[in-house]
C-alpha cells in the first residue's frame, strides 16, 4: 500500500513537540512492514536539507483575487520513506513554525491552507497514494478539500483519508471571512461542518470529512468524547464514535535509550545501572548544581510550557515541596506565563529547583538519563512521550492519570514488586504533593527502587505494534472508500 503522511512537523526536519517524533518514526516503521511511504511537510527555515531537488516547479494556489505559486522539493529517501517539502519562503522561512511567544502568526490559515492544497496537487504529479494520513489542524484541510473541492477529481476517487488528533487543544480557529478568501465553499460554514461558535474550525472540518479518526492513546480517545476533554468538539466525535480509535504512540529506542544515547555522560543498561550515577552528576553540573549530596533524588522535567502540562500545581505546593529531600531540574520553553513562573520558583528556591528556559535536545536527553524521577502532572495528555522515554532510562515517572500517561504507567506496589511509576487522579496540588512524597519514600529503599526501575526499563513501546494498528486502519479506510464508490 502507498501511504502519504501529511504533517506540520517531523524529526529531523522540524520540531516543536512530540508530534515531530511520531511523524519522524512512523514512516520508517511502515516502510519496514513493506509499505510505500511519502511524507509531506512544509519547508521551514529550520528545515535543513542536504540535497534539495525541485520535483514540482509550480503549484497554483488561489487566494482572494490573485494566485500564489509554491513549489515542492524532495528531501530524498530515509529508511524507505520519501520526504517532500512544500516550499513558499514568504510563508515558511520564518523564525518559528507557528508563531512567537507573543502569539500565533496572523496568516496561519493561509499558510496551512496553501500547504494542504499543495499536497493534493503535488500528489497528482508525484504519485497519488491509496491513503492520506493527516496530522493535527495544520493538515486538516486535506480531508476537507478532498471531499468538497476535489470530490469530482477522478485522481482521488478511491483515495482514503485518515486523520490523527495529537492534541484537541489546538484546533485552527479563524474568522469566517477566511473561507471565501481560501476559495473554500461557503456552505462549509454550517454547524454540521466547519462552523464553531461563529468561527471557522479547521480541526472540526477534518473530524467531519476524514474516513477514519485516530488519536494517540486509548484513554484519550474516550476522554475527548466528553465535555471535560473535548474542547467543544466532543459532540462531533461522539457522532463519529464508530470510526474513532486510539493507537498509542511508539518511541524510537535508537534515539532514546541509555544503552545508545550519544548525549549522555555514561551508557548504562538494566544489567548494569552504574553509569546512571555519572549521568546524574553530569546533569547537575550542566544545571550549575554543585554542592549537593549525590544521594538526594533528582526530579526531572522536560516540557513545552503550556497550560496543558499542569505546572500550576507545582506553584501551589512548592513551599512544602521545598522542605523535602529532593531537587527539581526543569527544562522548558513556551508560554511566557509559565516561563516566568519557573524563573520565579528558581529565584525563590534556588537550592531546590534548577531551571533552564530553553529548547535543547541534548539537555533533554541528559535529564532523562540523570534524573531519578520524571514529573508530568498534565491537566490532559493525549499520549506523552517523555514518560515513555523515562521508563527506558530507569527514571521513574510521577504522572497524573490522564490520557496516555494513564495508559502507559502502572502504579508501583512495593508488596508485589509490580508497577512502573506513581500516579494521581485529582487535579490539585495536594494530590500531586502526596504522590511525590510516596515516590520519595519509596526511593529510600534502594533495593526495591531498583526493581521499580527495571520494571520500567523492561517495557517495550517500540513502533512495531502501533504501526501494524495503523495499517489495519488504512485497510479499513480503503474498504470504506470502496464501499462508498460501489
Nearer to ligand GLC, 73 or 216 (CB): 216
- What does 145-197 look like in DSSP terms, one character per residue? HHHTTTTT-GGGTT-EEEEEES-TT---EEETTHHHHTT--GGG-STTTTEET
Please give the residues from 240 up to 259 whose contact with ligand GLC meets the rule CB under 6 A. 249
At which residue does the C-alpha cell 493534493 appear? Answer: 120
Give the one residue of 121, 223, 381, 406 binding ligand GLC; rule: CB under 6 A.
381
Q: Does 334 bind ligand GLC (CB under 6 A)?
A: no
Nearer to ligand GLC, 167 or 210 (CB): 167
Q: Does 216 bind ligand GLC (CB under 6 A)?
A: yes
Q: What is d(CA 87, CA 407) in angstroms, rounded to the nearest whole number? A: 38
- Of ligand GLC, ligand ADP, none, which one does residue 216 interact with (CB within 5 to 8 Å by kind)? ligand GLC
Q: Are 210 and 134 in contact (CB under 8 A)?
A: yes
Least distance (Å) between residue 184 CB and ligand ADP: 29
- Residue span 391-410 as binding mask against ligand GLC, x where in contact by CB under 6 A, dash where not: -------------x------
Q: What is d(CA 37, CA 411) in angstroms, rounded to the nearest whole number? A: 38
Which range of residues in 16-24, 122-130, 150-158, 201-209 is near ligand GLC by CB under 6 A? 16-24
Q: Does 166 bind ligand GLC (CB under 6 A)?
A: yes
Nearer to ligand GLC, 86 or 216 (CB): 216
User: Of 374, 479, 468, which Cα lies nearest the Cα of 420?
Assistant: 374
Q: Which residue is nearest to ligand GLC (CB)?
A: 18
Beta bridge partners of 132: 4, 161
Least distance (Å) between residue 253 CB and ligand GLC: 16
Beta bridge partners of 213: 163, 244
Q: What is d(CA 15, CA 333) in angstroms, rounded to the nearest whole number? A: 13
Binding site for ligand ADP (CB under 6 A): 17-19, 21, 302-304, 331-333, 359-361, 364, 383-386
Give the one residue of 200, 289, 383, 453 binding ligand GLC; rule: CB under 6 A.
383
Beta strands 53-63; 66-78: pairing state: antiparallel
Nearer to ligand GLC, 182 or 203 (CB): 203
Note the helical H segments in 371-462. 386-392, 403-408, 429-444, 446-457
> Where along the sequence are the contacts to ligand GLC (CB under 6 A)?
17-19, 22, 166-167, 216, 249, 381-385, 404
Amino acid at each position: 500500500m502507498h501511504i502519504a503522511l501529511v504533517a506540520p512537523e517531523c524529526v529531523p526536519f522540524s520540531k516543536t513537540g512530540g508530534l515531530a517524533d511520531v511523524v519522524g518514526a512512523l514512516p520508517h516503521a511502515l516502510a519496514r512492514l513493506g509499505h510505500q511511504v511519502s511524507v509531506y511537510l512544509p519547508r521551514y527555515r529550520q528545515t535543513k536539507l542536504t540535497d534539495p531537488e525541485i520535483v514540482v516547479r509550480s503549484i497554483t494556489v488561489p487566494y482572494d483575487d490573485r494566485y500564489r505559486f509554491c513549489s515542492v522539493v524532495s528531501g530524498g529517501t530515509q529508511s524507505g520513506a520519501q520526504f517532500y517539502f512544500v516550499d513558499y519562503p514568504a510563508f515558511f522561512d520564518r523564525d518559528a513554525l507557528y508563531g512567537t511567544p507573543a502569539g500565533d502568526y496572523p496568516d496561519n490559515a493561509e499558510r496551512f491552507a496553501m500547504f494542504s492544497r499543495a499536497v493534493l496537487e503535488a500528489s497528482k504529479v508525484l504519485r497519488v497514494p491509496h491513503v492520506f494520513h493527516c496530522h493535527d489542524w495544520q493538515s486538516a484541510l486535506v480531508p476537507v478539500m478532498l471531499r468538497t473541492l476535489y470530490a469530482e477529481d477522478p485522481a482521488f476517487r478511491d483515495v482514503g483519508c485518515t486523520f490523527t488528533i495529537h492534541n484537541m487543544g489546538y484546533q485552527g480557529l479563524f474568522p469566517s471571512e477566511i473561507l471565501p478568501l481560501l476559495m473554500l465553499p461557503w456552505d462549509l460554514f454550517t454547524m454540521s461542518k466547519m462552523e464553531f461558535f461563529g468561527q471557522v474550525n479547521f480541526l472540526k472540518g477534518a473530524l467531519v470529512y476524514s474516513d477514519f479518526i485516530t488519536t494517540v492513546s486509548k484513554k484519550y480517545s474516550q476522554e475527548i468524547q466528553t465535555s471535560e476533554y473535548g474542547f467543544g468538539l466532543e459532540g462531533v466525535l461522539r457522532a463519529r464514535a464508530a470510526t474513532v480509535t486510539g493507537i498509542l504512540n511508539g518511541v524510537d529506542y535508537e534515539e532514546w535509550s541509555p544503552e545508545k544515547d550519544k548525549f549522555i555522560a555514561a551508557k548504562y543498561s538494566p544489567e548494569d545501572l552504574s553509569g546512571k550515577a555519572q549521568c546524574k552528576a553530569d546533569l547537575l553540573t550542566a544545571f550549575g548544581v554543585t554542592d549537593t549530596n549525590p544521594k538526594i533524588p533528582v526530579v526531572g522535567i522536560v516540557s513545552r510550557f503550556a497550560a496543558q502540562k499542569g505546572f500550576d500545581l507545582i506553584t501551589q505546593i512548592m513551599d512544602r515541596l521545598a522542605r523535602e529531600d529532593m531537587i527539581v531540574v526543569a527544562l522548558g520553553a513556551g508560554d511566557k506565563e509559565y516561563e516566568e513562573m519557573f524563573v520565579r520558583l528558581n529565584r525563590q528556591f534556588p537550592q531546590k529547583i534548577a531551571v533552564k528556559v530553553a529548547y535543547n535536545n541534548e539537555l533533554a536527553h541528559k535529564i532523562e538519563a540523570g534524573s531519578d524521577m520524571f514529573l508530568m502532572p498534565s491537566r490532559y495528555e493525549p499520549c506523552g512521550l517523555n514518560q515513555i522515554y523515562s521508563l527506558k532510562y530507569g527514571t521513574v515517572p510521577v504522572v497524573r492519570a490522564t490520557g496516555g500517561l494513564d495508559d502507559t504507567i502502572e502504579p508501583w506496589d512495593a508488596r508485589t514488586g509490580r508497577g512502573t511509576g506513581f500516579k494521581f487522579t485529582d487535579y490539585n496540588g495536594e494530590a500531586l504533593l502526596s504522590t511525590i512524597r510516596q515516590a520519595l519514600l519509596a526511593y529510600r529503599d534502594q533495593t526495591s527502587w531498583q526493581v521499580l526501575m527495571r520494571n520500567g526499563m523492561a517495557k517495550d513501546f517500540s513502533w512495531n505494534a502501533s504501526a501494524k494498528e495503523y495499517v489495519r486502519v488504512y485497510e479499513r479506510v480503503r474498504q470504506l472508500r470502496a464501499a462508498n464508490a460501489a
